[in-house]
Amino acid sequence: MRLVVFVSRRLALLAPVLIGVSIATFVLIRVLPGDPVLLIVPETATAQDIADTRERYGLDRPLVVQYLDYVAGIFRGDFGSSITTNRPIATDLAQRLPLTLELVVLALAIALVLAITGGLYAARHVGRWPDHVTRIGALIGNSLPEFWLGLVFILVLFQGLGIAPPPTGRIGTGFDVVRVTGFISIDAALSGNPAAFLSALHHLMLPVMTLALVITAPMLRSVRASAIETRDGDSFRCAEAHGLADRVLSRAYLVRQTLIRLPTLAAIIFGNLLGGSVLIEFVFSWQGLGQWALRGLLLRDYPVIQAFVLVTATAYVLVFLLADILQAALDPRVKV
Amino acid sequence: MTPLLDIADLSVAIDGADGTVRALEKVALRVDAGEVVGLVGESGGGKSMIARTIVRLLPERSRVTGSVTLDGRDVLGLRDDDLRDHRGGGAALCFQAPRASLNPTRTVGRQVVDRLLAHDQATPEDARQRTVGLFTEVGLRDPDRQFDRFPHELSGGMCQRVMIALALACRPRLFIADEPTTGLDVTLTGEILKLIAAQAVPGERGVLIISHDLAAIARVCDRIAVLESGRMVETGPTVQVLGAPSHPYTRKLIAAVPDIARVREAMASPATANGDPVLSVSNLDVVYRARFGRHGLRAISDVSFNLHAGETLAIVGESGSGKSTLSRAIMGLLRPTAGRIVFEGTDLAHLARRDIRDLRKRMQMVFQDPIDALNPRMSVEQIVSDPLRLVKMPAHERRPRIEAALSEVGLEPKFLGRHRHELSGGQAQRVGIARALVLDPAMVVLDEPTSALDVTIQAQILDLIRQLTRRRDRAYIMVSHDLATVRALCDRVIVIADGRIAEQGETESLFTRPSSPVTEALLAAAPRLSPEALSMKKDAHVP
């Protein structure tokens, strides 16, 4: 019951956040230099042509009217259309958001597993070689640029060993997957086509691996540090001094306290990945959100940028809500 | 009879970055079943090191020589399952700082059950019942309800009782309590020590109490062992060690204990109401407001008193009685719900925040934990000059004021460039006092100024405060639960209980003829080293 109240209060917070974010984006991108109209009209266009185009997109109206019109559209599920491609934003979002989410969620899940096991392992052997190997490994993954790491993986695992599929998108050619959820691997599984499902997973392999390696290091370091802190702390020492069995010691007196801080860190990383996966998307020809948003930004495609910021902001709020609930579940001192 | 615990020739050396530290040197200690042994000495002397050696929890880089035998078993040679069995089942250690030593993510009941199951003291089915039984034994009220609570939901005293229950759940042969009374008020200290001493059972279990507070534990110990810088300097029956100490260090420890029978010396002229009071509190109420219209917590109700220049007033009471709330209100850190706090003619209750800040130059505070109260990044000079900077005194005028303040607290100018980590606890507290004095305030509030310090250092700081209070142009308020100190230093005493004044009056009349049961209880609980007090303990303890 308390959880329901907590969640509804936080969701109610979503409204002011989105209103604030949308106004700020709306105004800021129009203040930035660069005019989308000049980018789409032909070079021979006269001043009259430009004015006409501007009018066609409604960009000649006062800012307030444009904003209210935009908000009214959102309530009808209409995010407007891209200025440069004329495609409805909603269609693009429905196609691209699942692609990026699949990538990011899987990468984060794998990174979490790596970080927790690696961090606990390193902490157990602190100062000895397993610790150094784990930490240096994570550090290397963290310090290499992700696009370069991605290219190396392609070179070695696709071209060299032939284990990985070519970096040509989301799924192999020739599969006919009926679109249900937009998440290709789920849709392939739903369509009862095992070959398509495997191909979808196979294509996830390299980009997910690259992304996971890049984000593991900060989480691993955090887990290792708090595991050491907990193990050297009085509550663990006390349990140890009272002769508790190793299994109880590590499960009830070490791991849980160690993981208390992880959800917040993971949420921050998730938020960064939503827009930050763009380089990986380029390398693997992944038609995801990042590429779309970057292109929108470069061409000053106002509706694209606005929709992207709204989606990211919503995701941020939701993910932090989830992180807070997880943290409260781990730490009884935190009240939801 | 072979002793339960026999430590012989124990030396511990710890290799660190700055060379090897010899923590213990040829230490010998013996505890019999049924016996309560007190291990005393100042912090850093190696007391906890002995406890950690017994449960084999020494730092990795330590080299141990000598022998530790418990119940005939060679403790230093134990491995794996035998070691696990020895930890808890052989010797169970009650950690100091119980709240920090409990697992914050697990209910206290589950933590006891973990111990019961580890030492086969219960089946999972009856573990809960056994735990509730232990909670009852250690005096937790409402034991069934406490089972499902987390450490952060319990008070400090309750955490200490849970910690004792944890150790008892292992059913140890030797029960070790490390500084079990730190942070507890006098009444609670007495109860907890009695509870711990009661665990000694002839033929079954011995008790080792480690403490820097000789006066507190002397009441319950059969024998006392005195440790100085890793060496055992004296061991013997309590009455002998206290009555006829043979080693100078023991004599120093005993002399440092503030004696409650000691009357305040040389009171030139008992400060009486001459002129207007510096501080006048009338009908003060402080209510902590709760959220959503629930009933607030009434922390202070209807408190009135006056304080004159030259006077030293003590505010005493148990923890939770409202002492801290009252001192915070006086300092203008808390807004009173009702009543007046008039300081030098101005009512704090109706002042704007920035005006209170101006007034605060005239009232200063000395904090309980001297180390915590100093900024680690600032030198002594910066710390003491901070108040001067806030009143915008030009930089070149500050230096003489700072040096004057330091000399007032007995520190030489060479301390100016030092930082917090280069100061001892006593020196840090002197710096804290100098910071309070540098603006030459009309009133200084001392919040338990000695309770975080070792006994010998306590005595020095109290001497300093005694000298300061001789100056007749400044008023002091001392918040304390240490009645001996209060008697030695203060003109008048206010006893607070449940947020109300239980009694107030001249120190001597209050000590000799207490009129309130609260005062009587506090006086009775105060530790003392007099022969009568010790003989009382002996009568109570002989089976």
| N-to-C CA span, chain B | 19
Looking at residue A330, its amino acid is L
Whole-angstrom Cα distance, residue B129 to residue B151? 20
DSSP for B164-180 reads HHHHHHT--SEEEEEST
Is residue A224 within 8 Å of A124, Cβ to Cβ? no
Q: Which of B95, B110, B170 sits opposite A243 (nearest CB)?
A: B170
The answer to whether position A138 is within a domain reads yes
Q: Using a CB–CB cutoff of 8 Å, tell me whether A238 touches chain B.
A: yes
pLDDT at residue B325 in the model: 85
* CA–CA gap between residue A127 and residue B363 (Å, rounded): 51
Residue of B82, B114, B148 to mutate, testing the A interface (most A Cβ within 10 Å of its Cβ): B114
Query: Strand, coil or helix: what is B152?
Result: helix
Tallying the residues shown for chain B, one arrives at 543
Task: Tell me if B236 is assigned to some domain.
Answer: yes
**pLDDT for the residue A279:** 86
pLDDT (average), residues A78-90: 85
Distance, in Å, from the CA atom of A36 to the CA atom of A83, rounded to the nearest integer, reads 7
Contacts of B93 in chain A (CB under 8 A): 238, 241-242
Residue B536 pLDDT: 44
B442: left (phi over 0), alpha (psi -120 to 50) or beta: alpha
Structural domain count, chain A? 1
Which of B95, B105, B162, B208 is the best mutation test for A, with the most CBs of A within 10 A? B105
Kindly state the DSSP code that residue B198 receives in the 8-state scheme: T
Beta-strand ranges (E) seen in B71-147 are 73-74, 91-94
Q: Which residues contact A145 (CB under 8 A, 6 or more apart)?
A: A279
pLDDT in the model for residue B291 = 55
Mean per-residue pLDDT, A105-123: 94
Q: What domain count does chain B have?
A: 2
pLDDT score of B290: 60
Residue B512 within any structural domain of the chain = no
How high is the pLDDT of residue B541?
A: 43
Phi, psi (5° rounding) for residue A170? -85, -30
Tell me the C-alpha to C-alpha distance, in Å, between residue A291 and each of A209, A261, A277, A282: 19, 32, 8, 7
How is residue B282 written in tokens?
């009338």
Q: Give the pLDDT of residue A238.
A: 94
Report the residue of B70, B101, B178 to disrupt the A interface, i.e. the one with the largest count of A CBs within 10 Å. Answer: B101
Which residue range forms the structural domain that includes residue A179? 98-298
A253 neighbourhood in chain B, CB within 8 Å: 103, 106
As a whole-number percent, the residues of chain A with pLDDT over 70 amount to 99
Q: Which of A222, A219, A212, A205 is nearest to A141 (CA)?
A: A212
Residue A225 lies in a domain: yes
B316's enclosing H/E stretch is strand B312-316
Nearest Cα neighbor of B51 from B207, B162, B281 is: B207
Q: A331 in helix, strand or coil?
A: coil
pLDDT at B539: 43
**Cα–Cα distance for residue pair A48/B145, rounded to 1 Å:** 81
User: pLDDT in tens for each of the 543 residues of chain B?
Assistant: 688 999 999 999 988 777 788 889 999 999 999 999 999 988 778 888 999 999 999 888 889 999 999 998 999 999 888 999 999 999 999 998 888 899 999 999 999 999 999 998 788 889 999 999 999 999 888 899 999 999 988 888 889 999 999 999 999 999 999 999 877 777 788 889 999 999 999 989 999 999 988 888 888 999 999 999 899 999 999 989 988 899 999 998 888 877 666 665 545 444 455 678 899 999 999 887 765 555 667 788 899 999 998 899 999 988 778 888 888 888 888 888 889 999 988 888 778 777 877 888 889 999 888 888 888 889 999 999 998 988 888 888 898 899 999 998 988 888 888 888 888 888 889 999 999 999 989 999 998 888 778 777 888 888 899 888 887 788 999 998 788 888 888 999 999 988 899 999 998 888 888 889 988 888 887 776 655 555 444 444 433
Q: Are residues B10 and B140 in the same domain?
A: yes
Q: Do B334 and B445 contact (CB within 8 A), yes or no?
A: no
Q: Which residues pair with B312 in a beta bridge?
A: B476
User: Is B247 part of a structural domain of the chain?
Assistant: yes
Chain B's closest residue to A330, CA to CA, is B105
Residue B262 lies in a domain: no
Name every residue whose Cβ is closer than 8 Å to that of residue A127 and which is 6 or more positions away in sequence: none
Q: What is the DSSP letter of A157?
A: I
Residue whose pair of structure tokens reads 């209750």 in the numeric block: B349
* Residue B73, beta-bridge partner list: B70
| Residue B514 falls in which region: left (phi positive, over 0), alpha (psi -120 to 50) or beta | beta
Q: In B, which residues are within 8 Å of A331 by CB distance?
A: 104-105
The four Cα atoms B377, B379, B383, B386 give a dihedral, to 10 degrees, of: -90
Residue range A190-211: mean pLDDT, rounded: 86
**Higher-scoring residue by pLDDT: B332, A113:** A113
Whether pLDDT at A186 is above 70: yes
**What are the residues whose beta carbons fall under 8 Å from the beta carbon of A152, sequence distance 6 or more?**
none
- Count of pairs with CB atoms under 8 A, one residue in A, one in B: 84
Q: Does A229 touch chain B (CB under 8 A)?
A: no
> What ipTM goes with this model?
0.80
Q: Is residue B284 part of a domain?
A: no
CA-to-CA dists, residue A278 to A212, B284, B395, angstroms: 14, 64, 56
Provide the pLDDT for residue B156. 82
Among the partner-chain residues A235, A248, A333, the one whose CB lies closest to the CB of B101 is A235
d(Cα B35, Cα B200) in Å, to the nearest integer? Answer: 6
CATH of residue A247:
1.10.3720.10
- List, in order, residues 6 or more apart from A161 with CB less than 8 Å away: none
Of the residues B379, B409, B439, the one at which a domain ends: B439
For residue B427, what are its two tokens? 């020196």
Question: Does residue A78 belong to any structural domain of this protein?
Answer: no
State which residues form the domain around B91.
Answer: 5-256
Residue B119 within a domain: yes
Q: Is the pLDDT of residue A316 over 50?
A: yes
Of B211, B240, B256, the domain-final residue: B256
Q: Is the residue at A187 inside a domain?
A: yes
Cβ distance of A241 and B119 shorter than 8 Å: no
H-assigned helices in chain A: 2-31, 36-40, 47-56, 63-75, 89-124, 129-143, 146-153, 184-190, 194-232, 234-241, 246-250, 256-259, 262-276, 278-283, 289-298, 302-330
Backbone φ and ψ for B128, nearest 5 degrees, come out as -60, -45
The number of residues in chain A equals 336
Same domain (yes/no): B90, B234: yes
What CATH code is carried by the domain that includes residue B217? 3.40.50.300
B164 and B40, same domain (yes or no) = yes
CB contact under 8 A, A257 and B101: no
Boundary-marking domain end, from B222, B256, B290 = B256
DSSP B26: E
- Bridge pairing between strands B500-506 and B492-497: antiparallel
Pairing relation of β-strands B174-178 and B91-94? parallel
Local structure of B447: helix, strand or coil: strand
Q: Nearest CA to B58 among B68, B43, B71, B73? A: B68
Within-domain flag for B326: no
Q: Where are the alpha helices (DSSP H) in B285-352?
A: 323-330
Determine, for residues A253 and B106 on separate chains, whether the beta-carbon distance falls below 8 Å.
yes
Q: Which amino acid is at B28?
A: A
Tell me if A7 is assigned to some domain: no
For B525, other C-beta atoms within 10 Å of its C-beta total 17
